[in-house]
Amino acid sequence: MELDEMKLAWQTLNRQLEKQHALGLRLFKDSTLDKARKGLRPLIFGQWIQMAIGLVLAIAAGAFWATRLHITHLLICGLVVHAYGLMLVAFAARNLYLMHRIDYAEPVMMIQSRLADLRAWKYRVETPFHAVLGCFIWIPATWMNLAWHGIDPWTQKGSFIYWALSSSCVGLVLVVLVIWLMRRMGYAHVIENQAVGRSVRRMDKFLDEIVRFERE
């Protein structure tokens, strides 16, 4: 076999290997992205559930305060719970929007950028908001429930409001203290992973696998 024929054979072989590699990469990428897409389904389902809960809270609270306009403290309780329900709806809608922006036909780097937006929103905005409100929202919610049953802690003997606020403040201090200690001990990544949720972490993992495969 002459030298030119050998070069031509090697070039043909290289082209075939490149095609096989490209095909293998494409199959691996499509398979992994399909897993990533399915991995977000629990989060999507959870956001629809959160939106439904928020709507129920908003409607119930609206019906509560609309019939108690003349009772200031009950009106405030109803408005606070109403606002919280609307906030749940808004946060769920924001998460669904960020997930809808992910186009799996785009390059992996772009998908990672879209996912980073979702991760940042959940970690920097949604989770802190829920952590703070979660320590206090039970007070107006409980007050509303008691009022529906004809019990108004404001008119009862005792100090329900002071005890409730004190408990909530202690809870908030404990949450802040735990977060601070975990950061000082180098476990900030644990906080972030818990904040973004399992679905986002799994998708991150799948995208990293694709990037590693492409580099290899």
The C-alpha atoms of residue 105 and residue 37 are separated, in whole angstroms, by 12
The C-alpha atoms of residue 20 and residue 8 are separated, in whole angstroms, by 18
> Among 6, 48, 32, 21, which Cα is nearest to 211's?
32
Query: What pTM, to 2 d.p., does this model score?
Result: 0.81
Give, to the nearest 10 degrees, the angle between helix 72-100 and helix 41-66.
160
Q: Confirm if 158 and 167 have CB atoms less than 8 A apart.
A: no
pLDDT of residue 25: 61
The C-alpha atoms of residue 65 and residue 73 are separated, in whole angstroms, by 10
Per-residue pLDDT of the chain (216 residues; tens, 9 = 90+): 555 555 555 556 566 555 565 556 667 677 777 888 888 889 999 999 999 999 999 999 999 999 989 988 899 999 999 999 999 999 999 999 999 998 888 888 888 889 999 999 999 899 999 988 988 999 999 989 888 888 887 776 557 778 888 888 998 999 899 888 988 888 888 888 888 888 888 888 888 877 777 666
What SS3 state is found at 106? coil
The C-alpha atoms of residue 26 and residue 154 are separated, in whole angstroms, by 66
pLDDT of residue 40: 87
The C-alpha atoms of residue 214 and residue 204 are separated, in whole angstroms, by 16
The C-alpha atoms of residue 43 and residue 102 are separated, in whole angstroms, by 14
Structural domain harbouring 152: 3-215
The C-alpha atoms of residue 119 and residue 126 are separated, in whole angstroms, by 10
Please tell me the total count of domains within the chain.
Answer: 1
DSSP collapsed to 3 states, the chain: CCHHHHHHHHHHHHHHHHHHHHHHHHHHHHHHHHHHHHHCHHHHHHHHHHHHHHHHHHHHHHHHHHCCCCCHHHHHHHHHHHHHHHHHHHHHHHHHHHHHCCCCCCCHHHHHHHHHHHHHHHHHHHHHHHHHHHCCCHHHHHHHHHHHCCCCCCCCCCCHHHHHHHHHHHHHHHHHHHHHHHHHCCCHHHHHHHHHCHHHHHHHHHHHHHHHHHHC
Backbone phi and psi for residue 152, each to the nearest 5 degrees, phi listed first = -115, 105
